[in-house]
Structure 1
Amino acid sequence: MKIVFLDSATLPPKTILRTPNFPHTLQVFEYTAPEDVPARIADADIVILNKSKLNASAIADAPRLKLVAVAATGYDNVDVPACSARGIVVSNIRNYAINTVPEHTFALIFALRRSITAYQDAVRKGRWQESGQFCFFDYPIRDLAGSTLGIIGDGVLGQSVATMGRALGMKVLFSTYKGRNDMGPLYTPFEEVLAKSDIVTLHCPLMPSTRNLIGANEFAIMSRKPLLINTARGGLVDESAVGPALDAGLISGAAFDVVSVEPPPPNHPFNALLERPDFILTPHVAWASEEATQGLADQLVDNIESFFAGKPVNQVG
């Protein structure tokens, strides 16, 4: 078996990828440009990738390909129908980020709710000395206890965020799908969640039905001026509408770990927000605790070994 890893540099340097327990050769590339994918996988039996794109043309030019092992949960970068038509198994990683993403979510919430980064920046610029007293009150500080947390996405990550929120004394609302109000008593209508929440956090996949799920119309009904947190997928929020919503006071802050184009280009609207005390952008690292990334790598090899043993797991498509 020939295994080709197209983009190993998408995993942190400390992550250890153990050797699969069957005869194989392994060819590792730190990065692979789109135009180089076909040549690099032409004679591969197994392809490992994280963010590299695998389209139908490249798949057609890889006659030996049997398994695409995605080193992530999302797999929209792989043409799954083209793989299925060839009988190629596609596997992904599941439930590895159950601690790291919720913890990052709350790190962002705390940072905004208590103006942590704003105060740190003010201290760095000498504001404490200028105040002439033991503290200063330039930025708002709010407790989480007693506030309402609106969660869009009820999978394992959304549920873990809910558990943390309840432990902090928050009221938790799970949103229905947008346009659906028939999902039962455990869910609150989408528009009502937006209207009643002090924090709105996204934990849903990016699909045609969720692209630009939050935009100008949705910001307009956020009557409690909530924080908006996105640690899920770029594209769930109309990113051009975030700055105007902050300017108009429709939301009291926003924090993103994901962007529709990563890294964001120079003309991306978020670049104009980076100096604001009510905006935080982290570089898609919510998933990347050392514990989580090692768990991902271990599960990746488990998926490959299970496939070789004739018992594929974590199949998609």
Structure 2
Amino acid sequence: MQAVFLDAQTFHSSISFNDIEQAVGSLKTYPLTKPLEVIERAIGAEIIITNKVMLSAALLKQLPNLKLICVSATGTNNVDLDAAKALGIVVTNVSGYASQSLSQYVLAQILNYYCRLPAHNQVTQNSTWQNSPTFCVHGDSMIELAGKTLGIYGYGTLGRAVEQLAKAFGMTVLISEHANKTAIRANRVSYQEMLTSSDIISVHCPQTKATTELFNRAAFSKMQSHCLFINTARGGVVNSVDLAKALTANEIAHAVVDVLEQEPPQADHPLLDKSLTNITITAHMAWASIEAQQRLVALLGKNIIDFQQGIATNVVK
């Protein structure tokens, strides 16, 4: 089968695509593909592999040979799933590849915040320690994670991986029930209790109609003033303007954000305001350890092989 990878540059240059190449007859890769280039590049392909290239109904109707769309991510909002189903095109995604990478990122950010390591490194860089009358310069002292309460919203594979690491540090973990549910399942707490009782909140839910801008002014106002808020889920689950206001007003202590509503973001995005000193922003890379990316490619290859054998693996619609 002929396959085309429309945005291979979304992977690190060191990643091997051998697992995909072995699953298809031929593979053509493009670093990035603009909307007007999709038809020309994919017209003869039976398989399209895409991470973020938009595949609308209008585009899909112009690709008569297309049988399979492999989304090289978990989210599939870049594909018109209804149109694909109507045209008999199978859509698959991948999941479970980034639990180690993302959970490591979350704990690294928590440790960085509570250990204050950059500030302690600066103590030696600016010669404060060298000129100190005592053997130890306390500075902005470290704070232990043991005994802290971590609230998790979104208890899938990623949320569970973060929970496991947090408990290894002696933290108490609160698993939030869905915000719109009144019945609380065993071993969970209400959304409101998670907001008010957590020292740290980490978000791992998908973006749906129910979760879009779930973390807004009302939610931030209920959090403790020392709360560390972390979002590695989807940018749209947070109202960025409200988060910026909460940080400016010190309603919460600090935010770590790896995702935004639009990626890459516009220069005037409210969370990129340089006057915000209590936020850490990274460029949607929490998922992307080298190992996680290679696992993802292997899953893409398996999806293709299974499709050819008539096995429905990771079929979205």
TM-score (normalised: structure 2): 0.93
Aligned amino acid, residue 159 of structure 1 = R
2:180 aligned partner: 179
Q: Deviations over 1:104-163 (max 9, x none)?
A: 011111111222344446765666568776554554532110010000001011011111
**Inter-CA distance 22–192: structure 2 relative to 1 (3 Å threshold):** closer
**Inter-CA distance 17–148: structure 2 relative to 1 (3 Å threshold):** same
Q: Is the 8 A contact 1:274 1:281 kept in 2?
A: no
1:296 aligned partner: 296
Aligned with 2:235: secondary structure? coil
Aligned with 1:90: secondary structure? strand
1:62 aligned partner: 63
**Inter-CA distance 65–130: structure 2 relative to 1 (3 Å threshold):** farther
Q: Is the 8 A contact 2:8 2:30 kept in 1?
A: yes
Aligned with 1:83: secondary structure? helix
Using the alignment, how far apart are the partners of 1:272 and 1:118 within structure 2?
A: 22
Using the alignment, how far apart are the partners of 1:281 and 1:76 within structure 2?
A: 23
1:311 and 2:308 are equivalent in the alignment: no
Stretch moving more, 55-64 or 224-233: 224-233
Stretch moving more, 117-126 or 249-258: 117-126
2:2 aligned partner: 2
Q: Return 5+ residue gaps in structure 1 as ranges.
A: none
Aligned with 1:201: secondary structure? strand
Stretch moving more, 134-143 or 81-90: 134-143
Using the alignment, how far apart are the partners of 1:254 and 1:315 within structure 2?
A: 35
1:74 and 2:75 are equivalent in the alignment: yes
Q: Is the 8 A contact 1:195 1:224 kept in 2?
A: no
Using the alignment, how far apart are the partners of 2:244 and 2:220 within structure 1?
A: 11
1:45 aligned partner: 46
2:28 aligned partner: 27
Q: How far apart are residue 206 of structure 1 and its match?
A: 0.9
Alignment of 1:180-219 (within 5 A): 180-219=181-220
Using the alignment, how far apart are the partners of 1:99 and 1:17 within structure 2?
A: 21
Alignment of 1:100-249 (within 5 A): 100-120=101-121, 134=135, 136-139=137-140, 141-223=142-224, 225-249=226-250
Aligned amino acid, residue 38 of structure 1 = I
Count of aligned positions: 316
Aligned amino acid, residue 182 of structure 1 = A
Using the alignment, how far apart are the partners of 1:166 and 1:116 within structure 2?
A: 22
Aligned with 2:230: secondary structure? strand
Using the alignment, how far apart are the partners of 1:16 and 1:274 within structure 2?
A: 41
Identity value in percent = 36
Q: Is the 8 A contact 1:98 1:157 kept in 2?
A: yes
TM-score (normalised: structure 1): 0.93
Q: Is the 8 A contact 1:154 1:204 kept in 2?
A: yes
Using the alignment, how far apart are the partners of 1:30 and 1:101 within structure 2?
A: 25
Q: How far apart are residue 244 of structure 1 and its match?
A: 2.0
1:90 and 2:91 are equivalent in the alignment: yes
Q: Is the 8 A contact 2:229 2:254 kept in 1?
A: yes
Aligned amino acid, residue 7 of structure 1 = D
Using the alignment, how far apart are the partners of 1:184 and 1:113 within structure 2?
A: 31
**Inter-CA distance 214–138: structure 2 relative to 1 (3 Å threshold):** farther
Using the alignment, how far apart are the partners of 1:123 and 1:37 within structure 2?
A: 54
Q: Is the 8 A contact 2:49 2:72 kept in 1?
A: yes
Aligned amino acid, residue 53 of structure 1 = M
Q: Return 5+ residue gaps in structure 2 as ranges.
A: none
Using the alignment, how far apart are the partners of 1:273 and 1:150 within structure 2?
A: 28
Stretch moving more, 293-302 or 19-28: 19-28
Q: Is the 8 A contact 2:199 2:224 kept in 1?
A: no
